[in-house]
Amino acid sequence: MHTRIYSVSETLRKLLEDSMLADTGPGGLAAFFGAGGAIVSLATPEEMSPGKQGLSVWLYRVARDEQRLNDPPTLRPVGGGRVELVPPPLPLRLHYLVTPLAKDSPDTEQKILGRVLQALHSRPIVSGAALQQDLIGTDAEIHVHLEAMSLDEVARVWEALQRSYQLSVSYEATLANIESIAQPERGSLVESLRPELAVMVGD
């Protein structure tokens, strides 16, 4: 579906929000994100500041997944001995800039980032009840891993935001298959039977 990208983003946002609210121990982040009014948002860091605090989970890049680009079409039975070939979906890699935002509180920003790293390290594959939007009830799996970005790559992202660099990390998520809208091709499992061309095989 064309909403798959948003569904992946919302799944990650909700996962991180739940993780922040579950940090209820001494010095935990639950108070900051609960009564404190901080949010976990898909907005850019620029859009969140200066009025909002919390965590920006910003999708800044979408790329084709070259490793799955040549996946074959799916053979699906449609009854009456007929099948249809469903065109393969477009496999994507989604790249997120994850930025903690706590005004005049670098220690809180470091705690938020540490909680993000903990949550996504503990759950590198997101599936089941954690899925949101049109992924609910599916057997989808979102694979998430921390990206190693060079200083130049990081600088280009922040230049695009027209902001000076601040504490952040980048994550890559793979799953977001965009289904083709092309009509499946239909045919029969056996087009014709030619007895005269059969080969007899003995015991």
Q: Is residue 201 part of a domain?
A: no
Identify whether 81 is part of a domain.
no
In a domain, 71, yes or no: yes
The domain in which residue 142 lies consists of: 4-75+90-181
Q: CA 16 to CA 10: how far, in whole Å? A: 10
DSSP type of residue 90: B
Q: Establish if 69 belongs to a structural domain.
A: yes
In 3D space, the residue among 171, 43, 180, 46 whose CA is nearest the CA of residue 116 turns out to be 171
Q: Taking a C-beta distance cutoff of 8 angstroms, is the pair 102, 109 a contact? A: yes
In a domain, 80, yes or no: no
Report cis status (omega within 30 of 0) of the bond before 45. Answer: no
Q: Is residue 198 part of a domain?
A: no
Domain count for the chain: 1
Question: Considering the domain boundaries, does residue 24 fall inside one?
Answer: yes
Going residue by residue through the chain, which has 203 residues, state the pLDDT in tens, using 9 for 90 and above.
688 899 999 999 999 999 999 999 888 999 999 887 899 999 998 888 777 899 999 999 998 877 766 666 666 676 666 777 766 678 889 999 999 999 878 999 999 999 999 999 999 999 999 999 988 988 888 999 999 888 888 888 888 888 888 889 999 998 756 555 555 555 554 555 455 555 555 55
Sorted by sequence, the CB contacts under 8 Å of residue 164 that are 6+ apart come out as: 158
Q: What is the DSSP letter of 178?
A: B
Whose CA is closest to 130, among 16, 4, 27? 16
* Residue 146 falls inside a structural domain: yes
